[in-house]
Chains A and B, each alone.
Chain A
């Protein structure tokens, strides 16, 4: 198949960006979306054009490195990571717009690459259980009901790609933060720091310039791991609880 891509090109953080059109002939439907960009980049290089910069690493849908907005949708038409999207999802002759995540808290570094370090700082503000190495009791000391463990696991599958932020009209990081709060809050080991976690992480989220949540639900619609919206209710409950308990 033959397609046209229109790609956001921006040489560096302070430069003006613009959409640039490229024809990509002879695309195989079995190619992944990123392999299609690889092929285009090989050609650009041979033509003396700067290849398109994009983040990617595992190409197995688990590291969370990749992520672009495709035709206005974070990660494109399938609810999966960009690296797991294949060209069979597009029609011959398609014109595909490719843009970086758009959010105030995710400034563009170059072309399709954005700075997502704000997510790490949200984790630093409480997204952990304080268990210094060597202090742990036997793993079977605290049985955890299977449904509770499964629930924690479902939230823990978040890959931190940032699609939730990119999809949200408010640029909110609530689904990301809520996934971590749910993961740790469902486990007995996570209870002692439950209040400080909610206050710390939500506070940091605001400080980073993420917007507020107005329950639109775009985040969960594009989440490659299908983190449900109800995790945000859990976050709100934990936050309210923490405020009532008067921690901080």
Chain B
């Protein structure tokens, strides 16, 4: 089956450029008159203020295929002897941080890295299962850099920046080469060449994988490269350290305040540039597939110091997770999307049908994805699969405890391929499912339900991955740059490694070439103020001694976010969420109970600081979702849908990146819009039917 849109989309190119620019100009004009659209007017003054438009100024104005080479050429270089005099701090050592640290260390810079875990090998990149995309076209199935670019822009529902996405697709091929050279044991065929599989939202096989543990293998590769540089003394690693404040001196990011999580000591570290590679913020929902420690604190603290936070409402709800089993639940476990290659998703036709799934005859099953989206079937993008699951459950046809689940059935695949082949492909996932649920998925269909998984939003960056604070760079999931309103499967690993191995090391030099900057130490007023802010916050948290635990607040915040800022959002719900979050935040700061002292390993104190930041982020997410009165990608506004219930974008009004400026402690956030211009892909409603 073919994607019927493709014929049109391939008429991209030069001739269309002027036309597109004209359209973009008109779009910008339109943005200045937002109330013209047919929505009821938004009571903007109540929750936010509108600031000036912003733009990326770093991508060279040449053909899209030439931009990255042009940027690498016109970025200023630092000669090898001078690199020794320059220093870079990197916060977070997952794929995006470890790969950047290793590469900058190899280049000869002085790198200092921090992670909250006891080893960089534990970063949550390790949990990615399915694979990593690359436009190698090893399958000879019509793949190309342009197609990966096109799929990513379309999959992101036309809310990402073309320049960045094109570069991501270009870089993807180098990543695979680099990883193989490092010893990453990708899956291979009997001929000894690399195997590929297909993933949701695309029709080619471009996903490289290492059984169901691709993230682990890629992270270990980056970790080993990092450890090699630690041994070579180009990188100094601080494990069990958490960044609690950014130090900005004369408008430039110059350092961080960190807490040694074992001794409690508050330390300052300084450098010529700071890189945040601290991951996503899905844990604002309490229950998510993120690791327990994943948090927004590093990027949120930078936001409070002036860095714009872009598209916070774009969160990805992953369709194939193990359903919630009880109130004590601490996290949700993802089952790789690759399962949708061979598993078929269904619910009983009738909500009354409570039979054992194996006893329900074919005619009384509804394979709803295959029915509604015949072209892509079970391989529709994540946002579409998730919402379809929500819809059938809302209709009362969900299965399992609480009716919050759908079947993912491998009976056909086992019959077609044999149990052995299914075991070889998915064995570890099946084992994991059996371990957690106590059910055998070879015999009875799995039950799955969507869960928060990834956050497309993050700190705003330009083409160089620089935030709006000079000297502050942001890589990987922590930035907003490449996935628009929805990320395609197997693209997170690609972006993390592209940023860390290939992009940042070729852009940060442009900034560092003006260094080394004047020495700063802990006596500088900006550093003193940052350290004092950290101390007073910790003292406050430890002095409340209220009646509720940190987790009880976090859980309640998570419920609010899931109910009102989850798979479906409405104006009414978001307004309710904003006021409830504000109330809960006030209660937190007067009634939370954090025992112990700062001068010890204190896990409750660590969590309290993170949850405090999640309150502020959660509110901004709801404001962002409220302002974006359209549906796009993972952001579905009930007020904006087509007649058959599909997401309806409003490109005339909302084709922009929302970059939020911190509005002060009790002030309103300020919205800066970066208009999105599509010169190479024509904007259209996505269709996977």
On A, residues with C-beta under 8 Å from B are 11-12, 28, 30-32, 34-35, 38-39, 42, 45-46, 48-51, 53, 55-65, 78, 80, 84, 86, 88, 109-110, 113, 115-117, 119-120, 123-125, 127-140, 142-146, 149-150, 152-153, 156-157, 159-160, 183-184, 187, 189-190
Q: How far is the CB of B369 from chain A (nearest CB, A)?
A: 25
Which residues on B sit within 8 Å (CB–CB) of A143?
188, 191-193
Q: Is B330 an interface residue (CB 8 A)?
A: yes
Contacting pair A136 B174 (CB below 8 A)? yes
Q: Is B203 an interface residue (CB 8 A)?
A: no
With beta carbons under 8 angstroms apart, the residue of B183, B187, B190, B215 that contacts A129 is B183
Q: Is B328 an interface residue (CB 8 A)?
A: yes
Assuming the contacts A123-B223, A139-B176, asked whether A133 and B502 have C-beta atoms less than 8 A apart, the reply is yes
Can you list 28 A-B pairs with a CB-CB distance of less than 8 A?
A12-B601, A28-B328, A46-B549, A58-B122, A58-B291, A59-B331, A59-B333, A60-B127, A63-B117, A63-B124, A109-B262, A113-B601, A120-B230, A120-B237, A120-B239, A124-B231, A129-B181, A129-B224, A131-B178, A132-B106, A133-B99, A136-B180, A139-B180, A146-B190, A153-B187, A153-B210, A183-B185, A187-B185
Contacting pair B329 A59 (CB below 8 A)? no
Contacting pair B600 A57 (CB below 8 A)? no
A57 to B188 alpha-carbon distance, docked (Å): 31
Contacting pair B436 A86 (CB below 8 A)? yes
Q: Is B189 an interface residue (CB 8 A)?
A: yes
Which residues on A sit within 8 Å (CB–CB) of B237?
120
Contacting pair B178 A133 (CB below 8 A)? yes
Q: How far is the CB of A75 from chain B (nearest CB, A)?
A: 12
A138 to B180 alpha-carbon distance, docked (Å): 9
Which residues on A sit within 8 Å (CB–CB) of B289?
60
Instruction: Select from chain B the residue with minimum beta-carbon distance to A129.
Output: B183
Instruction: Select from chain B the residue with minimum beta-carbon distance to A61.
Output: B432
The A-contacting residues of B in range 118-137, CB under 8 angstroms, are 118-124, 126-127, 136
With beta carbons under 8 angstroms apart, the residue of B120, B186, B438, B600 that contacts A88 is B438
Contacting pair A133 B194 (CB below 8 A)? no
Instruction: Select from chain A the residue with minimum beta-carbon distance to B263.
Output: A12
Which residues on A sit within 8 Å (CB–CB) of B291?
57-59, 63
Contacting pair A146 B119 (CB below 8 A)? no
Which residues on B sit within 8 Å (CB–CB) of A88?
438
Instruction: Select from chain B the residue with minimum beta-carbon distance to A45.
Output: B549
Q: Is B595 an interface residue (CB 8 A)?
A: yes
Contacting pair B185 A152 (CB below 8 A)? yes
A78 to B435 alpha-carbon distance, docked (Å): 10
Instruction: Select from chain A the residue with minimum beta-carbon distance to B121.
Output: A160
Which residues on A sit within 8 Å (CB–CB) of B534?
none
Contacting pair B227 A45 (CB below 8 A)? no
Q: Is B103 an interface residue (CB 8 A)?
A: yes
Q: Is B80 an interface residue (CB 8 A)?
A: no
With beta carbons under 8 angstroms apart, the residue of B185, B190, B435 that contacts A86 is B435
Contacting pair B177 A139 (CB below 8 A)? yes
Q: Is B228 an interface residue (CB 8 A)?
A: yes
Q: How far is the CB of B122 from chain A (nearest CB, A)?
A: 4
Which residues on B sit within 8 Å (CB–CB) of A117?
118-119, 239
Assuming the contacts A34-B330, A48-B595, A65-B118, asked whether A53 and B225 have C-beta atoms less than 8 A apart, the reply is no
Which residues on B sit within 8 Å (CB–CB) of A140?
138, 193-194
Q: Is B596 an interface residue (CB 8 A)?
A: yes
Instruction: Select from chain B the residue with minimum beta-carbon distance to A87.
Output: B328
Instruction: Select from chain A the residue with minimum beta-carbon distance to B178.
Output: A136
Contacting pair A84 B436 (CB below 8 A)? yes
Q: Is B326 an interface residue (CB 8 A)?
A: yes
Which residues on A sit within 8 Å (CB–CB) of B481?
none
The A-contacting residues of B in range 61-96, CB under 8 angstroms, are none
With beta carbons under 8 angstroms apart, the residue of A57, A120, A131 that contacts B227 is A120
Contacting pair B106 A32 (CB below 8 A)? no
Assuming the contacts A45-B604, A189-B180, asked whether A160 and B216 have C-beta atoms less than 8 A apart, the reply is no
Contacting pair B183 A133 (CB below 8 A)? no
Q: Is B325 an interface residue (CB 8 A)?
A: yes
Which residues on A sit within 8 Å (CB–CB) of B593?
45-46
Q: Is B213 an interface residue (CB 8 A)?
A: yes
Instruction: Select from chain A the residue with minimum beta-carbon distance to B184.
Output: A156
Contacting pair B188 A123 (CB below 8 A)? no
Contacting pair A86 B188 (CB below 8 A)? no
Contacting pair A64 B121 (CB below 8 A)? yes
Contacting pair A31 B595 (CB below 8 A)? no
Q: Is B396 an interface residue (CB 8 A)?
A: no
Contacting pair B502 A84 (CB below 8 A)? no
Q: Interface size for chain B: under 10, 10 to 19, 20 to 34, or 35 or more residues? A: 35 or more
Instruction: Select from chain A the residue with minimum beta-carbon distance to B603.
Output: A53
A24 to B333 alpha-carbon distance, docked (Å): 25
A160 to B126 alpha-carbon distance, docked (Å): 12
A88 to B325 alpha-carbon distance, docked (Å): 14
Among A63, A88, A143, A187, chain B packs the most CB atoms within 10 A around the CB of A63
Q: Is B211 an interface residue (CB 8 A)?
A: yes
Instruction: Select from chain B the residue with minimum beta-carbon distance to A84.
Output: B435
With beta carbons under 8 angstroms apart, the residue of A11, A78, A124, A156 that contacts B217 is A156
A88 to B434 alpha-carbon distance, docked (Å): 13
Contacting pair A157 B213 (CB below 8 A)? yes
Instruction: Select from chain B the residue with minimum beta-carbon distance to A125.
Output: B231
Q: Is B32 an interface residue (CB 8 A)?
A: no
Which residues on B sit within 8 Å (CB–CB) of A115?
118
A37 to B189 alpha-carbon distance, docked (Å): 44
Q: Is B220 an interface residue (CB 8 A)?
A: yes
Which residues on B sit within 8 Å (CB–CB) of A60?
127, 289, 331, 333-334, 432
A137 to B231 alpha-carbon distance, docked (Å): 25
Instruction: Select from chain B the residue with minimum beta-carbon distance to A127.
Output: B224
Among B103, B334, B435, chain A packs the most CB atoms within 10 A around the CB of B435
Assuming the contacts A57-B293, A62-B213, A149-B188, asked whether A119 and B119 have C-beta atoms less than 8 A apart, the reply is yes
Q: Is B493 an interface residue (CB 8 A)?
A: no
Instruction: Select from chain B the residue with minimum beta-carbon distance to A153.
Output: B185
Which residues on B sit within 8 Å (CB–CB) of A11?
600
Contacting pair A131 B181 (CB below 8 A)? yes
Name 19 extra pairs, CB < 8 A, besides A31-B328, A80-B435, A159-B216.
A38-B330, A46-B549, A46-B593, A56-B292, A57-B292, A57-B293, A59-B331, A62-B126, A84-B436, A124-B228, A127-B224, A133-B99, A134-B502, A135-B181, A138-B177, A143-B191, A153-B210, A156-B210, A184-B183
A17 to B369 alpha-carbon distance, docked (Å): 57
A80 to B122 alpha-carbon distance, docked (Å): 17
Contacting pair A51 B595 (CB below 8 A)? yes
Instruction: Select from chain B the residue with minimum beta-carbon distance to A81.
Output: B435
Q: Is B102 an interface residue (CB 8 A)?
A: yes
Which residues on B sit within 8 Å (CB–CB) of A152?
183, 185
Which residues on B sit within 8 Å (CB–CB) of A12?
600-601
Which residues on B sit within 8 Å (CB–CB) of A159?
216
Q: Is B501 an interface residue (CB 8 A)?
A: yes
Q: How far is the CB of B655 from chain A (nearest CB, A)?
A: 35
Instruction: Select from chain B the residue with minimum beta-carbon distance to A31.
Output: B328
Q: Is B19 an interface residue (CB 8 A)?
A: no
A113 to B117 alpha-carbon distance, docked (Å): 12
Contacting pair A137 B211 (CB below 8 A)? no
Contacting pair A64 B122 (CB below 8 A)? yes
Q: How far is the CB of B555 from chain A (nearest CB, A)?
A: 10
Contacting pair A65 B122 (CB below 8 A)? yes
A119 to B438 alpha-carbon distance, docked (Å): 33
Q: How far is the CB of B3 from chain A (nearest CB, A)?
A: 27
By Cβ-Cβ distance, the 10 closest A-B pairs, closest first, are: A143-B192, A136-B181, A128-B224, A124-B231, A136-B177, A131-B181, A153-B185, A57-B291, A133-B103, A139-B180
Which residues on B sit within 8 Å (CB–CB) of A125?
231
Instruction: Select from chain A the residue with minimum beta-carbon distance to B120.
Output: A120
A84 to B127 alpha-carbon distance, docked (Å): 14
Contacting pair A137 B177 (CB below 8 A)? yes
Contacting pair A42 B549 (CB below 8 A)? yes
Contacting pair B122 A51 (CB below 8 A)? no
Q: Is B182 an interface residue (CB 8 A)?
A: yes
Which residues on B sit within 8 Å (CB–CB) of A48?
595
Which residues on B sit within 8 Å (CB–CB) of A45?
549, 593, 595, 604
Among B117, B215, B228, B325, chain A packs the most CB atoms within 10 A around the CB of B228
